[in-house]
C-alpha cells in the first residue's frame, strides 16, 4: 500500500470537530487510536480548520484488532467517523 492508496474518511458526523464541514472531514489525514477506535485528530477549539476540500485519508490506525487493520494501517476502502464511546470514533471498526 502507498500513501495514495490510503482509505478516505467517507463521512464524519461529529458536528463539534473543527475539521468537519457539512459532514466532510477536511483534515489532510487522521489517526485512529485508543481502545474505542477514537479519532485522534478530533479537536474542538472553535477554529475553522483543515483544507479547502474534504479529502481526508486514514494516515494511521492503532486499532490492530480490527479486521481492516494491516500493520497498523487501514485496508478498508473508506471509513465513517461519528460519535461512539468517544466523541469521535471510527464506525467502520470490526473486531477480528
In the complex, least distance from residue 37 CB atom to ligand SF4, rounded to whole angstroms:
4
Binding residues for ligand SF4, rule: CB under 6 A, are 32, 37, 58, 61, 63, 66, 68-69, 74, 76, 79, 90, 92-93
3-state secondary structure of 31: strand
Residue number with CB closer to ligand SF4 (17 or 37): 37
In the complex, least distance from residue 72 CB atom to ligand SF4, rounded to whole angstroms:
9
Residue number with CB closer to ligand SF4 (50 or 92): 92
Q: Give the C-alpha separation, 35 to 54, whole Å.
A: 26
In the complex, least distance from residue 40 CB atom to ligand SF4, rounded to whole angstroms:
11
| Contact predicate 75/58, CB 8 Å | no
Spatial CA neighbour of 89 closest among 28, 21, 29, 9: 9
Residue number with CB closer to ligand SF4 (32 or 50): 32
N residues, the chain: 96
Intra-chain end-to-end CA distance of the chain, in Å? 21
Amino acid at each position: 500500500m502507498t500513501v495514495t492508496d490510503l482509505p478516505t474518511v467517507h463521512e464524519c458526523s461529529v458536528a463539534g470537530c473543527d475539521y468537519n464541514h457539512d459532514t466532510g472531514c477536511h483534515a489532510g489525514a487522521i489517526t485512529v487510536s485508543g481502545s474505542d477506535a477514537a479519532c485522534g485528530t478530533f479537536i474542538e477549539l472553535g477554529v475553522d480548520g483543515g483544507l479547502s476540500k474534504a479529502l481526508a485519508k486514514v494516515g494511521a490506525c492503532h486499532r490492530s484488532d480490527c479486521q481492516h487493520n494491516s500493520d497498523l494501517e487501514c485496508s478498508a476502502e473508506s471509513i465513517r467517523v461519528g460519535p461512539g464511546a468517544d466523541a469521535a470514533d471510527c464506525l467502520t471498526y470490526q473486531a477480528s
